[in-house]
């Protein structure tokens, strides 16, 4: 990896605007996939999806060095731009993180109405959610079993993020996300305590084995930060309900704190109804956050210092997210300042 790229990443994680530096690096090293991905993400933060997505999609070359995933993406976008009504698309959402799947569900109605056929491959957990909520879109074929792509030139197979790259930044923002909102319980006798969702499951294993405690890329709270956050809210941490999804080290955690971690149900539908009982929800950037936001629950988002492209300035309006108008962004970011 180039030293100048590493220096750029260090500057970015220190809060320095490195857009122009990444642009220069990309011009010098146009075939460096890692630089392309980082520069593409910065372009996406500014709302430039026309240039940003093609560069960001070089991520597929890192995931699959054979280049097959990237080739599929290029073939699909070319066919879509030529004649979308002749395209048969297979979206393998199982290649995406749970939060990404929840976030990009919004694109499905447009894809189904634009393409000839759309097949969505999902985990069993998502299949159950679709069936319970009755959001199986007319014309969308949802499958969980192993599925072989038909041997036809009109069929293209991509992951969910690749399917979303056909949208401009502005049109992606305008996609509705009301699939889950009517299923949140309208409970007038809401629980008096707050709920905190402090873990992103995919980051947790790394978090618990950190050699450097202030890793700026992490999206999970440390134990002391949960206590500090409750103090800021003028709450006793024992009066907060803490939930986690797929928490590997719950025994280690529960031996250290007064209030035990509660595990989120495996059923997404049950999770939505459970969390709708709370008047105040605080969450880190995680699948549980996206589930709350898609259900239009009132949630405050706690971002890491180095956050995802979709929380850039273009997608923000003050302390609100244009993606999710019911979400408030906390003025704190992980890791919390040491003086708190």
pLDDT tens readout for residues 244-271: 876 555 555 555 556 678 888 888 888 9
pTM above 0.75, yes or no: yes
**In this predicted structure, what is the pLDDT of residue 182?**
67
**In this predicted structure, what is the pLDDT of residue 74?**
96
Asked if omega into 335 is within 30° of 0 (cis), the reply is yes
Which residues of the chain fall short of a pLDDT of 50? 1, 205-214
Residues 297, 276 contacting (CB under 8 angstroms): yes
Task: List residues bridging with 89 in a β-sheet.
Answer: 118, 156
Look at residues 105, 109, 139 and name the one whose alpha carbon lies nearest to residue 122: 105
- Fold entry, domain 182-334: Rossmann fold (3.40.50)
| Residue-wise burial string across 243-252, b where 16 or more C-beta atoms lie within 10 A, e elsewhere | bbbebeeeee
pLDDT digits (tens, 9 = 90+) for 221-233: 887 888 888 888 8
| Residue-wise burial string across 175-208, b where 16 or more C-beta atoms lie within 10 A, e elsewhere | bebebbeebbeeeeeeeebbbbbbbbbebbeebe
296: left (phi over 0), alpha (psi -120 to 50) or beta: left
Look at residues 126, 53, 117 and name the one whose alpha carbon lies nearest to residue 96: 126
The residue ranges of every structural domain in the chain are 1-60, 64-177, 182-334
Going by DSSP bridges, is the β-strand pair 117-121/140-143 parallel, antiparallel, or unpaired? Answer: parallel
């Amino acid at each position: 990896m180039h030293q100048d790229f590493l220096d750029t990443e260090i500057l970015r994680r220190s809060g320095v605007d490195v857009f122009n530096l990444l642009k220069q690096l990309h011009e010098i090293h146009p075939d460096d996939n890692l630089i392309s991905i980082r520069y593409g993400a910065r372009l996406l933060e500014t709302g430039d999806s026309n240039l940003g997505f093609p560069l960001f999609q070089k991520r597929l070359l890192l995931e699959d060095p054979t280049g097959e995933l990237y080739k599929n993406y290029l073939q699909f976008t070319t066919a879509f731009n030529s004649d979308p009504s002749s395209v048969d698309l297979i979206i393998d959402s199982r290649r995406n993180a749970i939060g990404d799947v929840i976030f990009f569900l919004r694109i499905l109605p447009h894809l189904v109405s634009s393409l000839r056929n759309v097949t969505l491959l999902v985990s069993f957990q998502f299949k159950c959610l679709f069936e319970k909520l009755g959001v199986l879109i007319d014309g969308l074929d949802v499958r969980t079993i192993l599925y072989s792509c038909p041997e036809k030139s009109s069929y293209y197979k991509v992951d969910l993020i690749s399917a979303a790259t056909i949208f401009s930044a502005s049109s992606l923002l305008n996609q509705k996300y009301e699939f889950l909102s009517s299923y949140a319980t309208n409970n007038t006798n809401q629980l008096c305590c707050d709920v905190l969702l402090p873990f992103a499951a995919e980051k947790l294993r790394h978090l618990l084995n950190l050699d450097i405690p202030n890793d700026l890329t992490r999206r999970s709270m440390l134990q002391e930060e949960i206590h500090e956050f409750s103090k800021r809210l003028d709450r006793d941490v024992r009066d907060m309900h803490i939930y986690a999804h797929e928490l590997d080290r719950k025994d280690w955690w529960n031996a250290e704190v007064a209030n035990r971690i509660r595990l989120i149900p495996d059923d997404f539908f049950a999770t939505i109804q459970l969390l709708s009982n709370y008047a105040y929800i605080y969450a880190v950037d995680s699948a549980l956050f996206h589930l709350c936001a898609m259900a239009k629950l009132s949630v405050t988002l706690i971002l890491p210092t180095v956050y995802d492209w979709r929380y850039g300035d273009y997608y923000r309006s003050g302390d609100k997210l244009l993606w999710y108008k019911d979400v408030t962004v906390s003025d704190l970011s992980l890791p919390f300042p040491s003086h708190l």
